Amino acid sequence: MIPSKKMETMLNKQMNAEFYNSHLYQAMAGWFEGQNLPGFAQWMEVQAGEERGHALRIYNHLKERRAAILVEGVPAAPNKYKSALEAFTAAFDHEVHVSKEINKLMEAALAEKDYATAKMLEWFVTEQVEEEAQTDAVVVQLKMIGNSLGSLMYIDRHLGKRKAA
């Protein structure tokens, strides 16, 4: 069954937001490369790939439900930060925003009695808990180390171990 026009519009909006999220994290990866922090860049590149996967998850849901799929242009993402802490704080704040948007989608799906969409969105609700926790953990560590370059390099090595799922 095709979702309601309201749900179709909201899902397309979120799909495009997820493509932007991928673009945002790729831009952050580029900034980290420019700072000679390849581990941070690796972490962001993996995150960019995950976000593209999130967009495709919604894309496939729309496809399976025979709904309109409206892929739009991706706006430019910020690509300059004062520090690793500023970049990761921006990432964390962005994930909090994404969680709010996913919650709005879930509320709408339940109000519309679109249980297929609600079931698909359960994965996103769980995923957002993980996304917020991962970025917040790095923010906390960066705050703890202050201006210690040795500690920054240690975190860089640690983040560089992240691999795509």
pTM of the model: 0.93
Residues in the chain where the model's pLDDT stays below 70: none
Query: Phi-psi bin for 163: left (phi > 0), alpha (psi -120 to 50), beta?
Result: beta
Q: Looking at residue 1, what is its pLDDT?
A: 77
Looking at residue 34, its amino acid is G
C-alpha span between 71 and 58 (Å, rounded): 11
Looking at residue 122, the DSSP 8-state letter turns out to be H
Residue 25's φ and ψ, nearest 5 degrees, are -70, -30
| CATH class of segment(s) 5-159 | mainly alpha
